[in-house]
Amino acid sequence: MYAKDLNAAREFYMRLPGVELAGEEPERHLFFRVGNAMLLIFNPAHTSSEQTEVNGDIIPLHGAEGAGHIAFSVKNKEISNWKEFFAEQETPIESEVTWPNGAVSIYFRDPAGNSLEIVSPKFWNF
């Protein structure tokens, strides 16, 4: 994901249950541990124009403009807890969708305008 204001992104994501800051480089990137996965948030002003090397190996330039999207799978019984959390945090729910298979998605936005989704795991059962 990409965000120009990493301070606002850090504050926002650190409030989300189950999200832990794993590393950061000021003004360049934030790395969050989310369960068994990692969420990387880069400032495209840096990663799209400043070449980075690790042990002499080049990290390709990358960056995007505009809203991205990511989904976090949670247990069905946790959906109502997330609704309560959003209300307490005054985070607007942009949309709530009940899919044909009965799965539920809740959509909201981070400070950079990225579309985030809380989705019940039933969605992924084909």
pLDDT in tens, 24-40: 999 999 999 999 999 99
Inside any domain, residue 64? no
Shared-domain flag, residues 74 and 117:
yes
The two beta strands, 69-73 and 115-119, are parallel
DSSP 8-state symbol, 115? E
- pLDDT for residue 122: 80
Q: How many domains does the chain have?
A: 2
DSSP 8-state symbol, 119? E
Of 59, 82, 99, which marks where a domain is finished?
59
Domain range for 77: 69-124
- pLDDT for residue 11: 97
Distance CA(94)–CA(32), nearest Å, equals 24
Question: For each of the chain's 126 residues, which pLDDT tens digit applies?
Answer: 999 999 999 999 999 999 999 999 999 999 999 999 999 999 999 999 999 899 999 999 998 888 999 999 999 889 999 999 999 999 999 999 999 988 999 999 999 999 999 999 887 774
Shared-domain flag, residues 52 and 82:
no
Shared-domain flag, residues 119 and 77:
yes
